[in-house]
């Protein structure tokens, strides 16, 4: 496959420019300066590897004023023709492969550039004078073109040198000698060192713990001793303190007892004096029971006196009332005593009243019949003979009743006057007056008569008969009434009721007599009670008098004085009692004081004895003062022992805590385990490091062998080409893979490095290296053309001819395009390769 055309749509100064057709072998492109020779060289590379952006590349970007950079490469083989198109843009710009003829080959770019990086292309395939020295400058770096191409030529995808460098980089990332801290193993070693240090500290702690435990045991014994001492001194202090307090209390008790005795004795004396000063009324005390009894009965006595007065009044009043009743009844005591006031008598009176009333009614009826008949007969007769008034009543009954009423009114009035009851008097007068008016009125009413002459005459006769009959009946009934009244009177007399005519009066007399008898009975009862009360009063008064006499006090002469006498007796008794009580109190006080004195004397003696015992037991003849000083010393000793114990206790507790914590220490296990982990990591990393380091050594050995046994093929080819170009001036090269320097040897075997070569000779060396490398690449980059941009410019004619021969030789196996602005160069190349293609470029 060969590159046929390079088409610049827009690229720098090139616009719609085409370079081609390029020959299969050597093509010389002759053009003046600014004809675009360098632009086509750069364009070919950018179309394959991508356009650089203005900012991303340090090389010239070949921007176009006409627009976005764009171009095409046309490749051709026996199978077809393809165009690779690319437009500038991100990531090198979009590109594509299009078949102009033959099958599509979308992977064409990768096929063409396989094994050849852009840098390698720039340095080895498409280079100008500016890139000539790059082939040496980049040696020993990641862009060691020789190494890369050599690796490709050796069937490797990467340079052994690069692999070795990467492996050593990996190894360095794991471990570096010295004090590096970043590599993994170095960091782990530092970590392990720190962990060991921690473990060492913990082990030291553990070892020191043995001593601490021994100290703890000693301290425990010391603490126990201190505790015993503390307890003993504290106990002694407490004992002495208690003894001192006891002694103090006892001495205080003695003093207090002394003071108390003074007071008590004074009290006893005072009590005795007070007792003597009190005079007790023993006589009154002796009658105290009588006086108390009289006092207790005094209230009853007073009531009794009141009852006597009341009973006396009542007896008098009942006597008068009884007499009044008898007077009203018109009876003396003797007659009254004969009156039968039994219920039978009263029932008899009732019966008699009914009988008499009935008889009187019959009499009145008969009389009225007689008078009515007579009156009617008179009227009828009057009618017959004129009228004549007839009295309305001719019986005379109402007048009798009226008169009886008058009599009753008079009696009532009289009784009222007798008893002084004016209401009764008034009632009697009114009754009398009313009854008198009735008696008088009964005569005034008259009945008028009428007459019928015929009938009336007959009627008058009849009436006259009837009046006669009525008169007869009336007389008979009047007689019967008279008999009844007599019988009634006899009946009354038989019952002591002489002088009474009417049943009502009889009833009244019975009532009065009954009342009189009741009052008399009451009076008798009151009199009897009065007698008893008087007897009691007299008895009480007598007792009072007896007591008063016994006490030499005035005796009451009557009942009324008895009350005051009792009061006086009571007062005297009260005074006597007060005095007696005061005497008792004084006596008790004296007794108590005496007992207290005895007790206080006993206590004082006891306290004094016990105090002396303490003084003797503790051997402190100085007493409390000396004992207090001893207590003070004991207190100081106890405090010191306590303080010492506290200090030891605190120390023991701290050490015990420390020992306990260390005994329970679980950090060491974790740290040891962590150290194991770190060591294991170191081991793993060391194994990887070993593999990497051994790999580096293997690579080194392989490189050495390869350089020794196989690299000379390339070097010899370069030597041959260089010798050809220089006309045998230089016969040998040294191009070690791992070194950056290239040395040349002249015919005298003198070595020179490139820095000591002339520019032209150095460029000839670089060209020889490129031609040798490319010649050894075989299939690598087989379709890539070698584009040389006036690289022979600095060669002298002789060496230019030699270089042209070498280029022509390469062109027999590779497509080579030589750009030049020197016609003589074109001629030299034409001489070297007569079948070359020639193209011309005009200045843009």
Partner 1 sequence: MADHLTFVHAADLHLDTPFRRVDAAEPRVRDACVESTFDAFDRIVDVCVERGAAFLVVAGDAFNTAERSFRAQSRFRAAAERLAETGVRVFLAGGNHDPASGGPVSLEMPENVHYFASGAVERMAFPSENDPSCVLYGRSFGRARETANLAREFRKADGDPFAIGVLHANVGGNQQYEPYAPCSLDDLLSTGMDYWALGHIHQHQVLALEPPVVYPGSPQGLDPNEAGEHGCVVVTVGSAGVSTEFVETGRIAWDRRSVDLADTTSLDDVLAALRVCCENARDAADGRPVLLRIDLVGRSEAHVLLAHGATFEELVAEVRAEQLAVSPWVWLDRVRDLTRPALDLDRVRDGADFAGDLVRIADEIGADEAAAMLDEVLDPIRGAARGVEMGFDAAALIERARDLCLDRLLAGEQGR
Measured between alpha carbons, how far is 24 from 19 in angstroms, rounded to an integer? Answer: 14
Measured between alpha carbons, how far is 93 from 61 in angstroms, rounded to an integer? Answer: 13
Angle at 228 between CA 227 and CA 230, to 5 degrees: 60
Contacting range for partner 1; rule: CB under 8 A; set: 523-531, 604-612, 687-695, 770-778: 687-695
Contacting range for partner 1; rule: CB under 8 A; set: 199-207, 314-322, 483-491, 544-552: 199-207
User: H or E element: which one contains 750?
Assistant: none
DSSP-based three-state secondary structure for 25: coil
Question: And the tokens for 363?
Answer: 């009499």
Of 63, 133, 404, 691, the one binding partner 1 (CB under 8 A) is 691
Question: And the tokens for 351?
Answer: 């019966």
Q: Does 702 bind partner 1 (CB under 8 A)?
A: yes
Buried b (16+ CB within 10 A) or exposed e, 434-471: ebeebbeebeeeeeebebeeeebbebbeebbebbeebb
Which lies closer to partner 1 via its Cβ, residue 655 or residue 757? 655
Q: Does 480 bind partner 1 (CB under 8 A)?
A: no
Q: How far is the CB of 135 from partner 1 (least distance, A)?
A: 21
Of 100, 676, 747, 751, the one binding partner 1 (CB under 8 A) is 676
Tell me how many residues contact partner 1 (CB under 8 A): 67
Q: Does 695 bind partner 1 (CB under 8 A)?
A: yes
Q: Does 668 bind partner 1 (CB under 8 A)?
A: yes
Which lies closer to partner 1 via its Cβ, residue 166 or residue 536? 166
Q: Does 111 bind partner 1 (CB under 8 A)?
A: no
Q: Does 674 bind partner 1 (CB under 8 A)?
A: yes
Q: How far is the CB of 154 from partner 1 (least distance, A)?
A: 5
Residue 556 is given by DSSP the state: P
Question: Which string of DSSP letters, residue by residue, matches 322-336?
Answer: HHHHHHHHT--HHHH
Q: Does 670 bind partner 1 (CB under 8 A)?
A: yes
Which lies closer to partner 1 via its Cβ, residue 411 or residue 777? 777
Q: Does 436 bind partner 1 (CB under 8 A)?
A: no
Of 665, 779, 824, 827, the one binding partner 1 (CB under 8 A) is 665
Measured between alpha carbons, how far is 111 from 392 in angstroms, rounded to an integer? Answer: 188
Count of beta carbons in the 10 Å neighbourhood of residue 279: 9
Contacting range for partner 1; rule: CB under 8 A; set: 227-235, 477-485, 622-630, 705-713: 705-713
Q: Does 151 bind partner 1 (CB under 8 A)?
A: yes
Of 19, 22, 43, 167, the one binding partner 1 (CB under 8 A) is 167
Reduce the secondary structure of 70-124 to three states and give it as a string.
EEEEEEEECCEEEEEEEECCHHHCCEEEEEEECCCCCCHHHHHHCCCCHHHHHHH
The answer to whether 7 and 802 are in contact (CB under 8 A) is no
Q: 355 burial class (0-12, 13-18, 19+ CB within 10 angstroms)?
A: middle
Contacting range for partner 1; rule: CB under 8 A; set: 198-206, 304-312, 521-529, 752-760: 198-206
| Bridge pairing between strands 26-30 and 70-77 | unpaired
Question: And the tokens for 780?
Answer: 């690598």
Q: At what angle do helices 184-277 and 667-709 cross, to 10 degrees?
A: 170
DSSP-based three-state secondary structure for 733: strand
Q: How far is the CB of 654 from partner 1 (least distance, A)?
A: 18
Q: How far is the CB of 161 from partner 1 (least distance, A)?
A: 10
Q: How far is the CB of 764 from partner 1 (least distance, A)?
A: 29
Q: How far is the CB of 742 from partner 1 (least distance, A)?
A: 21
Q: Does 664 bind partner 1 (CB under 8 A)?
A: yes
Measured between alpha carbons, how far is 188 from 678 in angstroms, rounded to an integer? Answer: 6
Strands ordered across the beta sheet of 2-11: 14-19, 2-11, 70-77, 80-87, 95-101
Q: Does 154 bind partner 1 (CB under 8 A)?
A: yes
Q: Does 552 bind partner 1 (CB under 8 A)?
A: no
Which lies closer to partner 1 via its Cβ, residue 192 or residue 497? 192
Q: Does 426 bind partner 1 (CB under 8 A)?
A: no
Which lies closer to partner 1 via its Cβ, residue 353 or residue 681? 681
Q: Does 743 bind partner 1 (CB under 8 A)?
A: no
Distance of CA 535 to the CA centre of its chain: 92
Contacting range for partner 1; rule: CB under 8 A; set: 121-129, 271-279, 417-425, 675-683: 675-683
Q: Does 235 bind partner 1 (CB under 8 A)?
A: no
Instruction: Give the CB-side neighbour count of residue 53, counting CA atoms within 13 A.
Output: 7
Which lies closer to partner 1 via its Cβ, residue 189 or residue 457? 189
Contacting range for partner 1; rule: CB under 8 A; set: 30-38, 165-173, 534-542, 724-732: 165-173
Q: How far is the CB of 175 from partner 1 (least distance, A)?
A: 6
Q: How far is the CB of 682 from partner 1 (least distance, A)?
A: 5
Distance of CA 175 to the CA centre of its chain: 64
Contacting range for partner 1; rule: CB under 8 A; set: 113-121, 170-178, 420-428, 590-598: 170-178
Question: And the tokens for 338?
Answer: 């004969």
Q: Does 706 bind partner 1 (CB under 8 A)?
A: yes
Of 35, 537, 562, 682, the one binding partner 1 (CB under 8 A) is 682
Q: How far is the CB of 30 from partner 1 (least distance, A)?
A: 42
Q: Which residues contact 773 (CB under 8 A, 6 or more apart)?
A: 124, 145, 146, 149, 150, 153, 714, 718
Q: How far is the CB of 158 from partner 1 (least distance, A)?
A: 6
Contact code string over 177-196 relative to partner 1, x by CB under 8 A: x-------xx-xx--x----
Strands ordered across the beta sheet of 816-820: 126-128, 786-789, 816-820, 26-30, 837-840
Q: Which of 141, 114, 156 is nearest to 703 (CA)?
A: 156
Q: Does 350 bind partner 1 (CB under 8 A)?
A: no
Q: How far is the CB of 184 from partner 1 (least distance, A)?
A: 11
Q: Which of 749, 704, 746, 765 is nearest to 136 (CA)?
A: 765
Contacting range for partner 1; rule: CB under 8 A; set: 58-66, 251-259, 377-385, 664-672: 664-672
Residues engaged in binding partner 1 (CB under 8 A):
151, 154-158, 160, 162-163, 165-167, 169-170, 175, 177, 185-186, 188-189, 192, 202-203, 206-207, 209-210, 662-666, 668-670, 672-684, 686-687, 689-695, 697-699, 701-703, 705-706, 709-710
């Amino acid at each position: 496959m060969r590159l046929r055309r390079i088409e610049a749509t827009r690229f720098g100064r090139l616009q719609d420019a085409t370079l081609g057709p390029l020959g299969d072998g050597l093509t010389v492109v002759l053009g003046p300066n600014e004809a675009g020779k360098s632009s086509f060289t750069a364009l070919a590379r950018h179309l394959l590897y991508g356009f650089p952006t203005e900012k991303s590349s340090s090389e010239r970007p070949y921007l176009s004023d006409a627009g976005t950079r764009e171009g095409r490469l046309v490749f051709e083989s026996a199978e077809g023709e393809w165009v690779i198109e690319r437009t500038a843009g991100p990531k090198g710009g979009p590109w594509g492969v299009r078949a102009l003829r033959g099958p599509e080959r979308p992977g064409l770019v990768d096929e063409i550039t396989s094994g050849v990086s852009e840098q390698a292309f720039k340095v080895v395939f498409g280079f100008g004078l500016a890139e000539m020295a790059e082939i040496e400058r980049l040696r020993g770096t990641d862009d060691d073109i020789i190494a890369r191409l050599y690796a490709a030529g050796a069937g490797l995808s990467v340079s052994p040198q690069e692999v070795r460098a990467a492996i050593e980089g990996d190894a360095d990332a794991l471990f570096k000698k010295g004090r590096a801290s970043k590599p993994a193993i170095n960091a782990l070693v530092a970590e392990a060192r720190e962990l060991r240090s921690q473990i060492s500290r913990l082990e030291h702690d553990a070892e020191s713990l043995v001593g601490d435990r021994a100290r703890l045991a000693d301290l425990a014994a010391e603490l126990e001793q201190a505790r015993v001492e503390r307890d003993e001194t504290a106990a002694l202090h407490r004992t002495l303190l208690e003894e001192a307090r006891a002694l103090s209390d006892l001495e205080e008790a003695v003093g207090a007892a002394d003071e108390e005795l003074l007071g008590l004795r004074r009290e006893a004396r005072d009590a005795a004096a007070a007792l003597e000063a009190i005079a007790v009324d023993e006589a009154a005390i002796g009658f105290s029971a009588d006086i108390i009894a009289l006092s207790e009965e005094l209230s009853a006595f007073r009531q009794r006196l009141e009852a006597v007065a009341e009973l006396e009044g009542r007896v008098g009043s009942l006597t008068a009332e009884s007499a009044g009743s008898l007077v009203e009844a018109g009876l003396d005591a003797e007659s009254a005593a004969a009156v039968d006031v039994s219920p039978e008598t009263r029932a008899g009176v009732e019966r008699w009243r009914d009988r008499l009333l009935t008889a009187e009614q019959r009499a009145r009826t008969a009389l009225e019949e007689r008078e009515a008949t007579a009156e009617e007969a008179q009227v009828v007769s009057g009618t017959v003979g004129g009228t004549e008034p007839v009295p309305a009543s001719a019986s005379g009954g109402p007048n009798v009743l009226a008169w009886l009423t008058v009599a009753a009114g008079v009696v009532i009035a009289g009784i009222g006057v007798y008893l002084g009851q004016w209401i009764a008097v008034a009632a009697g007068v009114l009754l009398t007056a009313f009854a008198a008016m009735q008696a008088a009125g009964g005569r005034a009413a008259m009945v008028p008569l009428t007459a019928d002459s015929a009938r009336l005459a007959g009627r008058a006769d009849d009436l006259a008969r009837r009046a006669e009959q009525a008169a007869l009946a009336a007389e008979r009934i009047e007689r019967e009434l008279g008999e009844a009244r007599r019988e009634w009177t006899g009946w009354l007399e038989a019952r002591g009721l002489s002088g009474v005519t009417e049943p009502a009066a009889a009833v009244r007399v019975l009532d009065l007599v009954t009342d009189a008898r009741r009052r008399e009975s009451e009076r008798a009862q009151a009199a009897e009670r009065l007698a008893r009360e008087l007897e009691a009063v007299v008895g009480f008064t007598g007792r009072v008098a007896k007591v008063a006499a016994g006490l030499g006090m005035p005796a009451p002469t009557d009942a009324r004085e008895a009350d005051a006498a009792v009061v006086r007796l009571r007062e005297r008794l009260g005074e006597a009692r007060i005095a007696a009580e005061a005497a008792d109190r004084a006596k008790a006080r004296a007794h108590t004081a005496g007992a207290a004195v005895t007790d206080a004397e006993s206590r004082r003696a006891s306290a004094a004895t016990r105090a002396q015992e303490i003084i003797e037991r503790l051997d402190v003849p100085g007493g409390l003062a000396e004992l207090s000083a001893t207590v003070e010393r004991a207190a100081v000793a106890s405090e010191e022992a306590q303080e010492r114990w506290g200090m030891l206790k605190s120390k023991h507790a701290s050490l015990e805590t420390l020992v306990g914590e260390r005994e329970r220490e679980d950090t060491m296990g974790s740290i040891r385990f962590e150290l194991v982990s770190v060591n294991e990591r170191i081991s793993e990393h060391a194994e990887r490091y070993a593999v990497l380091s051994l790999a580096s050594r293997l690579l080194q050995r392989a490189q050495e062998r390869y350089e020794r046994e196989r690299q000379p093929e390339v070097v010899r080819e370069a030597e041959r080409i260089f010798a050809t170009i220089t006309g045998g001036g230089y016969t040998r090269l040294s191009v070690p893979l791992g070194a950056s320097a290239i040395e040349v040897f002249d015919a005298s075997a003198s070595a020179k490095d490139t820095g000591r070569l002339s520019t032209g000779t150095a460029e000839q060396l670089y060209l020889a290296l490129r031609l040798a490398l490319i010649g050894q690449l075989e299939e690598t980059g087989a379709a890539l053309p070698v584009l040389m941009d006036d690289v022979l410019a600095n060669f002298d004619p002789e060496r230019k001819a030699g270089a042209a021969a070498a280029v022509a030789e390469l062109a027999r196996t590779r497509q080579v395009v030589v750009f030049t602005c020197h016609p003589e160069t074109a001629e030299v190349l034409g001489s070297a390769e007569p079948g070359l293609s020639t193209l011309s470029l005009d200045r843009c």
